[in-house]
Chain A
Amino acid sequence: MPARVAGTAAAAAAADAGDSTAPRRFDEAFLRKLEALTLLAKRTQGGGARAQRRSRRVGAGIEFADHREYAPGDDVRALDWNLLARLDRPYVRLREEDEDLTLSVMVDSSASMGSGAPPKLELAVRVAAALAYVGLSGLDRVGVALVGSGAQEVLPPRRAGSGRSMATRIFRMLEDARAVGRTDLTRATREVHARSEGAGTRRLAVLISDMLDPAGSLPVLDALRAARQEVVLVQVTAEADAVLPVDGEVVLQDVETGETRKLTVTEAVRRTQGERYEALLRGVAGVCRKRGVSCFQIPSHVAFDDAVLRILRAGGIFR
């Protein structure tokens, strides 16, 4: 009953992590949705290790997956002799290969994540909590980090049962996350990697950020890939990033750097700025495509469970 155990642990972890007087990010409604998400995530029994995640890769697992016709080069030990006798055609038995996953979720908590309605950070921490919770419930190693100009807080990957409840620690850290500081995702991801010991057959890094990094998206993606990780990018967007609430003569001030720019806001500026923002998003998506990175661009006003389901259904994280 791992899901139920994990669900009970999640509730307890959320209760431990939350402040009873302050507004809580992970409230009862959040937890109910989290339980539902966990049930939706299909699981398989673990292989040689303790992972319970089933893999669609055909391998040396014991769980039957499917048949396919024999092709030269296949292991003859995999031939299904009964089927050969019955159909007089060779088929091999495909088995699901068990894998041992290390999931590293990095949440951008720079000041720019505070914009939007609701703020982008709110969706980011909820999605991170959900992914971490689903991973922990699958007995994967899960680590979470808050990143900005560097690795601000890091919880190295651990399994659910290692020491004090990992879920509790993750929830507490995400509960306290605030959008402050500058953005330097390249440096931050390197620091996270340096503080996380490598283990498992598969390493997956999920970066949740608005990707408003002066250095652009390419360096950070390359840095993540250089650490031999599979990378999933969840880009949280907000309409407020590209729209100014005032007209006329304004001074724009960067919330992270304090840099200012004079600007006269007109309809033409608004129109152009919208196009520029769309181009930015397209650029991030293009870089991800080129680098083989799964990319999800999700507006901040989308419900977190819808966002998580979209990520899960697209695959690439939990196979």
Chain B
Amino acid sequence: MAAGLVFAGLSAGAVVALGVSGGVALTTLYLLQPRRRRVVVPFVGLWLSSPGDSLADRLGRRLRRFASFALQLTILGLVLLAAGDVHRRGEQAAARSVLILIDRSASMQATDEAGSRLERARTLARQIIAGLGQEDRALVATFGGEVWPLTGLESDHGRLADAVDGVSASDETGDLAGALSSLSVEAPLLRGHPHPTAVVISDFAGGGQAGATWQAFARALGPEIAPTFVSVGRRRNNVGIVAFSGRRLSADPSSVEAELVLAAQSFRDTPSAVTLTITAGPQRTPVARRMLRLEAGARAVTTFSDLAVADDRLQAVLEDTGDDLALDDRAYAVLPRAPPVTVLVVGDRNLYLEGALLGLEISGALRVDRLPAAALEASRTRWAAHDVVIFDGVTPQPAPSAGAFLYLDPHGPGNPWPERAGEVADPVVTNVLRAHPLLQQVSLSDLNVTAARRLTLRPGDLAVAAAAQQALIVARSGPTLRQVAVAFDIKRSDLPLRSAFPLFIANTISWLSRQAPPAPLSFVAGATARIPVPPERGALSGDQVEVRLPEGRVLRVPVIDDVLTVSLAHVGLVAVRDLKGRVLVHAAVNLASAAESDLGPRTPPVGRQQQDPPGVVGDGAPAPTRRPWWVAMVLVALALALLEWVTFHRRLTV
């Protein structure tokens, strides 16, 4: 037995003892004459003086039997050495504790490697595991938005390989900083074991790659843990959508006008021409198409105004990209609907006004409360609770200092536009600011008004409509106060009889309410999303709702404080329904990460870097690995046994 060999399986003593026993047994069997088979023949006289009994044949037979004996001794020796798992002493000292961290982020779906970058990473990880010795232990984990350990620190190569095979790509942005932070947490676990080693297999795309992150990571590992970074990815060839959003232009739920914004970026070193198609709804109805020309590395922001989109769910697709990452060639957006505007009408019954409001109220755009003129002062406490207050023929004293108010025929001491003496009889509209939001789609031509008050404007007031120098409709806007005044009694005009009147009321309410932008319904893949579920949709806090995720899974989660919290791992559209199946809200999930879309090969600034897996090739391996010699020994023994079998049955050795 060579001094440089050690036995990891059966002990050397056991191997020697078994070898001696087996050798003695084989030798004994060899020395014993083989038992001849007995054959009954009709006449033995025929078989006398057989040539098989010649001296030469007997010697040949003995030689062949000796060869068979030697072959059997060799097989015994090989089997015993395999059972002893004999290997070089240096390999025994190479036992390591290896943390294998595999990137599963979206960029690992790139196909510039055979299969994908993730497939290449899995192959490298399997090679690392195959190169581990029996004393080596490894822990397999993946990182994307979060770090998921897939195994404990163990030496079962089969389970480790199974864990590697189970790593699947996600649509998340890789949070390498988070992963490295987690790795730092794991480091103390590794320190308790011999030769701690960390291997990160990634394309190093995505966030968290600042130099400080790497330096912190290296410090966290400590000097005794040598990290190794294995890069995958070969080229920078991608064009992707990095942002996509839209909004409705009107609070009116029946409105179909929308405005979309999309940002596409080239991550190539050459110019690109791609086709952008935007579709709506589950039927993928095309609503816009545009050719985009992108210079190398350039970003193009494309805006679509006044698009008629009936469905709230939009998908943007870049076609003919010919790039390596298909995931960011599509993006999703949901057009948020504004919540209903609360309106308080103070004044006596006005069927014209109520008619105009009723249409909006039925459509769900408004919630209207009404108080009589006598309750004007009492209503003061409720003004702040409403988005817009309409004073119909009444004027509070003092005038409010904050909020949004529409004064119809303001007059009296509280009038924000003090009236001058006298009225303007039968004013004729001469000046109209058609571009003002109050007059969108509104025509005031040939408007008949019996009489209008002479309102005094202040600096900053805007006469949206006027009869010569006399303002008929005035808009005033301030940081906390917005007011609109109609200088005449609408009941003494033909304005309520015109189709423009409900539009004017709707425009005015929309302008006054200055609705805050709806809660965002677009999220980044890999993030934990808080999706707002407005109570007016019928889902109350504590209710269970069903969430259908982009990958098709359906979850039941509770709504808490008008929000549900769910983890979104894949790009696509999310549908939230109540338990009766009614859609409550949709949400979009996108990659939306220029860093993740940039597939350019990167190398971290610290640690050992190599393209080949550690322990397989190269001098940069963290530790020499032990060759599974016992496998070769068993195979050779099997081959010799097969040879012996063939020679025996071919009567070559008997």
Interface on A for B, CB 8 Å cutoff? Answer: 111-115, 210, 212, 214, 238, 240-242, 244-257, 259-266, 268-269, 272-273, 276-277, 280
Contacts and interface: CB of A to CB of B under 8 A. Distances in A.
B39 interface: yes
B580 interface: no
Given A248-B37, A255-B42, A277-B46, 15 more contacts: A111-B42, A114-B42, A212-B43, A248-B651, A252-B40, A252-B44, A252-B47, A253-B41, A254-B40, A254-B45, A255-B43, A260-B38, A266-B52, A272-B51, A276-B46
Given A244-B39, A251-B39, A260 B44 contact: yes
A259 B44 contact: yes
20 contacts: A112-B42, A210-B42, A212-B43, A240-B42, A241-B42, A241-B46, A246-B37, A249-B36, A250-B36, A251-B36, A251-B39, A252-B39, A260-B38, A260-B44, A263-B47, A263-B53, A264-B57, A264-B61, A266-B52, A280-B46
Interface string B31-71: 00010111111111111101111000100010000000000
Given A248-B37, A249-B34, A261 B47 contact: yes
Which of A210, A212, A263 has most chain B Cβ within 10 Å?
Answer: A263
A257 to B, nearest CB: 7
A272 B52 CA distance: 10
A3 to B, nearest CB: 38
B40 A264 contact: no
A47 B620 CA distance: 119
A212 B42 CA distance: 8
Given A212-B42, A244-B39, A248-B654, A264 B48 contact: no
Given A214-B45, A253-B44, A263 B38 contact: no
Nearest to A179: B42
Contacts of A260: 38, 44
Nearest to A112: B42
Contacts of A249: 34, 36-37, 654
B384 to A, nearest CB: 112
B37 A252 contact: no
A269 B51 contact: yes
Contact of B42 (A115, A250, A264, A280): A115
A262 B46 contact: no
Nearest to A110: B42
Interface in B110-149: none
Given A266-B52, A272-B51, A251 B46 contact: no
Nearest to A267: B651
A124 to B, nearest CB: 13
A38 B340 CA distance: 123
Nearest to A271: B51
Chain A interface helix/strand/loop/mixed: mixed
A262 B49 CA distance: 10
Nearest to A113: B42
Contacts of B47: 252, 261, 263, 273
B45 A266 contact: no
Interface string B628-654: 000000000000000000000001001
Contacts of B654: 247-249
Given A252-B47, A272-B51, A266 B37 contact: no
A97 B44 CA distance: 48
A264 B53 contact: yes
B39 A254 contact: no
A66 to B, nearest CB: 48
A273 to B, nearest CB: 7
A160 B47 CA distance: 45
Nearest to B37: A250
A248 B61 CA distance: 10
The 9 A-B pairs with the shortest beta carbon distances in the complex, nearest first, are: A112-B42, A254-B44, A212-B43, A264-B52, A115-B42, A249-B36, A269-B52, A248-B654, A251-B36
Which of B44, B61, B651 has most chain A Cβ within 10 Å?
Answer: B44
B51 A253 contact: no
Nearest to B649: A247
A115 B46 CA distance: 14
A276 B45 CA distance: 11
Contacts of A246: 37, 39
B652 to A, nearest CB: 11
B370 to A, nearest CB: 115
Contacts of A244: 39, 41
Interface string B319-350: 00000000000000000000000000000000
Contacts of A241: 41-43, 46
Nearest to B58: A264
Contacts of A273: 46-47, 50
A212 B46 CA distance: 9
A254 B43 contact: yes
Nearest to A269: B52
Contacts of A113: 42
Contacts of B41: 115, 241, 244, 252-255
A251 B53 CA distance: 13
A88 B340 CA distance: 156
Contacts of A248: 36-37, 651, 654
Contacts of A268: 51-52, 57
Given A247-B651, A266-B52, A269-B50, A261 B44 contact: yes
A212 B623 CA distance: 80
A250 B50 contact: no
Interface in B1-39: 34, 36-39
B48 to A, nearest CB: 7
A282 to B, nearest CB: 14
A266 B57 CA distance: 10
Contacts of B37: 246, 248-251
Contact of A245 (B39, B53, B57, B651): B39
Nearest to B45: A214
A261 B48 contact: yes
Contacts of A272: 50-51
